[in-house]
Amino acid sequence: MKTLSPLSVDPAFALAFRTLQPLPARPTSLLVLLHGVGGNEGNLAALGAEAGGDTLVVLPRGPIALGPQAFGWFRVAFSSSGPQIVASEADASRRTLIDFIGQLQQAHGIDAAHTVVAGFSQGGILSASVALTAPERVAAFAVLAGRILPELEAQLADAPRLSTLRGYIAHGTHDDKLPVGWAQRASDWLDRLGVEHLTKRYPAGHELGAAMRADFLAWLARDDQRWNRPAAGQ
């Protein structure tokens, strides 16, 4: 059975994080899982425990403290006109995560061709933000009950850089926090960007339910050889 490591706070890494133990003897791939707003790095541990045995699973803690054991990647208020974010915080977290993933890759000898970033809700938002602005850092990303920030448009990578990226969008049709229309907007946007992706919807609310979890893990396993694209020079 995999268990969570103690929290690591190391100046060599841009974020505090936990890993799933025991670590693979020789990890061949990296999965970075990002929690939602008001959550913490333990929230997606059970999901990560289902990843392949040779996958290093890392669960970073959002940099913004919102309460006891409650963290986020940026502050957000929900209004009748939709979510209102602190865009500067979202951008700072995006840049921090890009650095953090690079630090993990260097520390464990895993390249971007064998790296996936995924997250729930706000974590999914950041997963898309990282992948679509720095596609050289990861091979694939998953947005679980999240969205792609409209504010991201100015930072998007161009089509040639995005051409090898893979995406996964999953959303509940009864989501009362981020309505399911955000999933369609994300899918349409990825179509325009030429990013190959899969979109799935579930009769569920704003949650990471059993069906969504199972389908994400199946995508991760099925597409393993696709997001494990050849590294540069291979």
The per-residue pLDDT string of the chain (234 residues; one tens digit each, 9 = 90 and over) reads 899 999 999 999 999 999 999 999 999 999 999 999 999 999 999 999 999 889 999 999 999 999 999 999 999 887 777 788 899 999 999 999 999 999 999 999 999 999 999 999 999 999 999 999 999 999 999 999 999 999 999 999 999 999 999 999 999 999 999 999 999 999 999 999 999 999 999 999 999 999 999 999 999 987 555 555 444 443
Residue pair 103/13 in contact by the 8 Å Cβ criterion: yes
Fold of 17-226: Rossmann fold (3.40.50)
Residue 17 pairs in a beta bridge with 8, 60
Q: How big, in percent rounded to 5, are the helix, strand and coil portions of the chain?
A: 35, 25, 40
